[in-house]
């Protein structure tokens, strides 16, 4: 009886842990979703403040947040642009979070048209034109993205950034280690090297991670990258020459084929 009860408790704990992990990744409208999203927002608020501060958002900037959660960082960015020509955009996979944040900013959306909330099921295909944003950022997000999609997602983020625009990612190792201890995350999910590699593979420039200390939350980390103003910046010269040589061969082949076709037609 004792062994059976112990097994029951273990299975119950496993299911509860799995539910919490799922709610961290994609909150749904439920008691667990409300608690986890509220707890996560409270724990991340200071980190959001530091990330927004680090971006140096100007009053005329266009800012894009991925995975805005309960909208704290969007509200901070709105305060930066509300008296200028700037706008704040955000995408979130969770319909529950979309609903909550729309209600939170319903007056700002209606009266200023400076906040736009969109759903994005696939971050590899964003509903925005090329070279739109001055800043793209996310906090506590990339851990929940598939490894084999990271490079393509970052290529899409690079596309929507203006030349010279910045990408910023905030994280806090100490908190992530605790979530790993509680089996909410796997350590491989939040390995920063995984994300740095994906940014470089997507051809971002100036990819780096900086370590900071805050009296309220202790140590935190900010990953940053930039979209180059020079389309050739950061590319391997040897690879560029190989591509150029291949393009020239293709062009010569196309010209030769067109000439052969013309000669054949003239001989008829």
Per-residue pLDDT tens for 94-119? 888 889 899 999 999 999 999 999 87
Res 35: pLDDT: 52
For 9-30, b where at least 16 C-beta lie within 10 A, e where not — what string?
Answer: eeeeeeeeeeebbebbbebeee
- CATH number, residue 190: 3.40.50.150
For residues 258 and 127, membership in a common domain is answered with no
What total of structural domains would you count in the chain? 2
For residues 243 and 188, membership in a common domain is answered with no
Res 178: pLDDT: 86
For residues 29 and 144, membership in a common domain is answered with yes
Three-state SS at 122 = coil
For residues 185 and 198, membership in a common domain is answered with yes
For residues 114 and 12, membership in a common domain is answered with yes
For residues 253 and 216, membership in a common domain is answered with no
Q: Please identify every stretch of the chain with a pLDDT value under 50, giving residue numbers as ranges.
A: 1, 5-21, 24-25, 37
Domain span at residue 259?
236-267
For residues 18 and 132, membership in a common domain is answered with yes
For residues 255 and 161, membership in a common domain is answered with no
What global pTM score does this model have? 0.75
For residues 217 and 249, membership in a common domain is answered with no
Res 150: pLDDT: 92
What's the distance, CA 191 to chain centroid? 15
């Amino acid at each position: 009886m004792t062994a059976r009860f112990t097994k029951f408790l273990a299975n119950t704990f496993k299911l509860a842990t799995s539910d919490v992990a799922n709610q961290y990744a994609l909150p749904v409208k439920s008691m667990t979703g409300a608690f986890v999203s509220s707890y996560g927002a409270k724990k991340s608020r200071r980190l959001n403040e530091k990330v927004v501060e680090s971006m140096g958002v100007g009053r005329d900037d266009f800012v894009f947040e991925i995975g805005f959660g309960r909208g704290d960082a969007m509200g901070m960015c709105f305060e930066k642009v509300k008296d200028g020509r700037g706008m704040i955009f955000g995408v979130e996979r969770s319909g529950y979070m979309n609903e909550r944040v729309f209600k939170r900013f319903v007056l700002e959306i209606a009266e200023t048209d400076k906040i736009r909330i969109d759903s994005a099921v696939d971050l590899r295909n964003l509903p925005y034109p090329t070279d739109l944003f001055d800043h793209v950022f996310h906090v506590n997000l990339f851990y929940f993205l598939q490894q084999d999609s990271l490079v393509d997602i970052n290529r899409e983020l690079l596309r929507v950034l203006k030349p010279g625009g910045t990408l910023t990612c905030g994280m806090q190792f100490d908190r992530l280690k605790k979530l790993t201890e509680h089996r909410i995350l796997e350590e491989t999910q939040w390995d920063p090297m995984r994300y740095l590699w994906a940014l470089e593979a997507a051809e971002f420039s100036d990819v780096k991670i900086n370590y900071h200390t805050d009296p309220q939350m202790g140590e935190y980390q900010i990953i940053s990258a930039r979209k180059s103003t020079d389309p050739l910046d950061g590319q391997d010269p040897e690879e560029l020459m190989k591509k150029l040589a291949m393009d020239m061969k293709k062009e010569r082949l196309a010209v030769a084929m067109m000439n052969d076709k013309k000669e054949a037609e003239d001989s008829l």
